[in-house]
Amino acid sequence: MKEPQQLINRYKWYEIVGIYCGIFVFLSFVLSPFVEGFLVSLKPLSQLFSSPYRFIPENGSFAAYRTMWESVPGFGRYIFNSFFISSIVTAVVLAMVVPAAYAFARFEFKGRGTLLGAFLAVNMFSGAVLLIPLFRLMRSFGVLNTYFAMIVPGVAFLIPSAIWLLRTYIMRIPRELDEAAYVDGASHFYTLRRVILPIAMPGITVVAITTFIGSYAQQFIFALTFNAKSEYMPLPVGLYAYFGRQEVIWNELMAASFVGIAPAMIVIFFLQRYLVSGLTAGAVKQ
């Protein structure tokens, strides 16, 4: 007799067909813009602007991937900026979140629950609502039109979910470990550095990855509003400026988009297991 598990999961042929059809329809919706975008990047302009519409490119080529470097002069710079901003944001977030998450996970103090809730509430206010005072704040700091104008507000909105995620991870580390260190006369700081940090490394890595991705994906509104210098623009805003022109060279725009999202795609491919747990953690109250 087989395990019931296996028997439950045995599908009849029409069920399998139904499931694959469902998955096909679902994934078509999710992936069609990427497929279309990729095909557009292969089509020569003359074919792109011709009727009737053709889905599959005729004599498609990768020419746009070569010419885009000349048409979008700052392209390499935009990608660098995106990486640079995201790296700094991730480093700053980690520096503040690791101690905070440890405090939330291990110490009893008055107002802990309220404070944790307040951090979560920060997530509910997007930067867009606070744009006016943030603009004034950035102006009084004197950082408008610099990298900091994008880094400083970006960090604030990534802190809450990072704290939430790392706190959950640290809470799963057995308390006996810190208590043993404490009994041996180690200070709190020593316990954090020598006991918690090494064990929490996988959790910290997940937080770092999700923060980086979050920062890479959301570089738009602050960069659009607080920075006007094209040498500091991250990729989305750099391409947006190009997109806003009268004559959009669509195949090059799509080619540039694909090169721009390649890093994210590689991350998804290798780290997807961590990503799912990481990205949903902010949403799950535990």
Partner 1 sequence: MHARRSAVIFAWLLLAPALLYVLTIVAYPLVDTFILSFTDASLKKVTNWVGWENYDKIFNATFAEVITRTFVWTFFSVSIKMLIGTFGASMLNAAVPGRALFRVLTMPPWIVPMAIGIFMWGWMYNGQFGMISGLLQRAGVVDGPVAFLAQGSTAFWATVITDVWIGVPMVTLYMLAAMQSIPQDLYEAAWTDGAGRFYRFRRITLPLLVPAMITMSMLSLISTFNSFDIIWILTQGGPNGETTTMIIDTYRTAIGSKKYGEGAARAVMICIFLSIFCLCYFRVTSRLSAGEK
Site for partner 1 in 215-244 (CB under 8 A): 216-221, 225, 235-237, 239-240, 243
Taking the least distance from each CB to partner 1, the nearer of 51 and 246 is: 51
- Residue numbers 267-286 binding partner 1 by CB under 8 A: 267-269, 272, 275-276, 279-280, 283-285
To partner 1, the closest distance from the beta carbon of 225 in angstroms equals 6
**Residue 255: Cβ within 10 Å count:** 27
Decide if 153 contacts 87 (C-beta within 8 A). no
What's at 135, amino acid-wise? F
- 201 touches partner 1 (CB under 8 A): no
d(CA 231, CA 78): 8
Choices 62-70, 102-110, 168-176, 194-202 (CB under 8 A): range interacting with partner 1: 102-110
- Residue numbers 12-41 binding partner 1 by CB under 8 A: 15-16, 19-20, 22-23, 26-27, 29-34, 36-37, 40
Pick from 92, 251, 109: nearest CA to 158: 92
- Residue numbers 140-159 binding partner 1 by CB under 8 A: 152-153, 155-157, 159
Taking the least distance from each CB to partner 1, the nearer of 74 and 260 is: 260
- 102 touches partner 1 (CB under 8 A): yes
- 174 touches partner 1 (CB under 8 A): no
d(CA 82, CA 232): 9
Site map for partner 1, 113-142, x if CB under 8 A?
Answer: --x-x-x-xxxxxx-xxxxxxxxxx-----
Taking the least distance from each CB to partner 1, the nearer of 174 and 283 is: 283
- 48 touches partner 1 (CB under 8 A): yes
Choices 68-76, 105-113, 172-180, 193-201 (CB under 8 A): range interacting with partner 1: 105-113
Q: Given candidates 97, 165, 200, 249, which one binds partner 1 under the rule CB under 8 A?
A: 97
DSSP 245: S
Taking the least distance from each CB to partner 1, the nearer of 87 and 123 is: 123
Taking the least distance from each CB to partner 1, the nearer of 27 and 201 is: 27
Q: How far is CA 173 from CA 160, 196, 222, in A?
A: 21, 8, 37
Choices 10-18, 61-69, 168-176, 196-204 (CB under 8 A): range interacting with partner 1: 10-18
- Residue numbers 175-194 binding partner 1 by CB under 8 A: 188-189, 192
Conformation bin of residue 145: beta by default, left when phi > 0, alpha when psi is -120 to 50: left
- 88 touches partner 1 (CB under 8 A): no
Q: Which residues of 146-185 are buried (b: 16+ CB within 10 A; e: fewer)?
A: bbbbbbbbbbebbbbbbbbbbbbbbeebeeeebeebeeee
Q: Write the DSSP string, 221-244.
A: HHHHHH---GGG--HHHHHHHHHT
Q: Which residues of 13-40 are buried (b: 16+ CB within 10 A; e: fewer)?
A: eeeeeeeeeeeeeeeeeeeeeeeebbbb
Taking the least distance from each CB to partner 1, the nearer of 18 and 202 is: 18
Which token pair is 203? 């959790």
Decide if 234 contacts 223 (C-beta within 8 A). yes
